[in-house]
Amino acid sequence: MLTRETKAAPPRAVKHPTPVVLVPGIFGSQLDGWYKKKTAPHYYCSKDSGGWTRLWLCIECMVPTVLGCWTDNFALNVTDLNNIKNRDGVQTKVNDFGYTDGIAYLDSHQYVVYFEELIKGIAALPGYFRGQNIRGAPYDSRYPPNSRVGKIYMIQLTKLIEETYLINYNTKVMIIAHSMGNPIMVNFLKQMTQSWKDKYIQSFVALNGVFGGSAKAIRALASGETEGLPGLIVDPLTMRSMEQTLPTIYWLLPSPSLFEDDVFVMTDKRNYTAHDYSDLMTDIGAPSGAELYNMVKDVPLFDDDLGVDVHCMHGINNTTPLQFQYAKSKFPDTFPTTLQGNGDGTVNLKSLELCKKFKRLRTYKQFTGPLAKHLEIMQNPAVIQRVVEILYYSQLNETETTQDTLHF
């Protein structure tokens, strides 16, 4: 049995390595679009793509003259949970389900790295191969789990895990999720029977899980979120018009039960807490914002009893948006002064630390520094090494149960 000071033995081949299924976060899956539209927001916007083209991530679309065209193609039309769909004339598809290309990089030029370094770290272990026992489960992250598209994904994920189990000699599967992929897995695991989980799931590894929401979701809906791109290049208000149509942005609003009476938005007329979302949606002029929030507010981001072993890792001590202050008469159509708190740069610490409450938490580790940030953690050598070690020892059933830092 490992103790806290035990060092890992060099990896050796095992007969049937534990297969992994990788679940990305919001905007963590490549998404292609094919559009033939009757109207467009600007005269210079193409109405016909002439075939499939990269919709997310389209780096060349993130420039002023094209951004409005792209946001109109990426936005959703929402009537109710059973009638959430693309803009008229737009088709979309997720790339490479079951394999890894659709989550390794996000753009077609492979400039934006996502799961690739983690995949390479796992593939370096003896007996691991992409597409066989390293598999990806990308999804259209615009749709929440309780939508029609979200429910279809849950069925696809079930079949993928069962298939992965079978093609790997009936070996239980380890789920590795990042960001919003973690509450996606919370909802998935809660709907599965315990007998199914006992048969198919080895464990669940949570990386920078947004278990209690993120204050950045508030800023996205109120004034637009540019995801770190300069405001002079990417107009936040143009992004806002698209982000206000995405149900998952509302799903990721800070949980009222977790953040209680914390003030998130401060204006000259009033302040807003997590209990004021309906008023906030009205005051920012979000079309159907309150209805969109009501569609997803009861879909859990966290549950402490998933019926599987959990390993949790997340970043801390990176400045993370927490409160948004607007100058007089500037709310909501200007980018606010942002007051920072603790977290991973995107997800607030309260939300990240919820994973300590899992009843079957096996290991827990916090990481600091620039490579502990929300996306950067996926390229952190220490994190990758820890995932590899958890994966390796899962095959030997030698990992000690603890909520403290393990030294492999």
**What rounded mean pLDDT belongs to the chain?**
91
Q: So what's the pLDDT on residue 5?
A: 34
Contact 206, 313 (CB under 8 A): yes
Using 50, 70 and 90 to split pLDDT, how confident is the model at 397?
low
- Calculate mean pLDDT across residues 197-221: 98
Q: So what's the pLDDT on residue 7?
A: 39
- Calculate mean pLDDT across residues 74-98: 91
Q: So what's the pLDDT on residue 9?
A: 41
Q: What is the pLDDT of residues 236-256, one digit of tens each?
A: 899 999 999 999 999 999 999
Residue 117 has pLDDT above 90, yes or no: yes
Active site residues: 179, 344, 374
Q: So what's the pLDDT on residue 63?
A: 86
Q: So what's the pLDDT on residue 404?
A: 38
Q: So what's the pLDDT on residue 231?
A: 53
- Calculate mean pLDDT across residues 201-206: 98
Q: So what's the pLDDT on residue 69?
A: 95
Using 50, 70 and 90 to split pLDDT, how confident is the model at 80?
confident
Using 50, 70 and 90 to split pLDDT, how confident is the model at 10?
very low
- Kindly state the tokens that stand for 133: 């026992």
Using 50, 70 and 90 to split pLDDT, how confident is the model at 8?
very low
Q: So what's the pLDDT on residue 258?
A: 97
At 350, give phi and psi (nearest 5°).
-55, -40
- Kindly state the tokens that stand for 256: 């009222």
> What are the structural domains of the chain?
20-29+96-394 (3.40.50.1820)
Contact 384, 121 (CB under 8 A): yes
Q: So what's the pLDDT on residue 88?
A: 94
pTM of the model: 0.92
Q: What is the pLDDT of residues 306-352, one digit of tens each?
A: 999 999 999 999 999 999 999 999 999 999 999 999 999 999 999 99
Q: Which long-range contacts (CB under 8 A, 24 or more apart) does 156-159 make?
A: 156/97, 157/21, 157/23, 157/188, 158/188, 158/192
Residue 12 has pLDDT above 60, yes or no: no
Q: So what's the pLDDT on residue 116?
A: 98
Percentage of residues of the chain with pLDDT beyond 70: 92
Q: What is the pLDDT of residues 131-157, one digit of tens each?
A: 999 999 999 999 999 999 999 999 999
Q: What is the pLDDT of residues 261-305, one digit of tens each?
A: 999 999 999 999 999 999 999 999 987 899 999 999 999 999 999
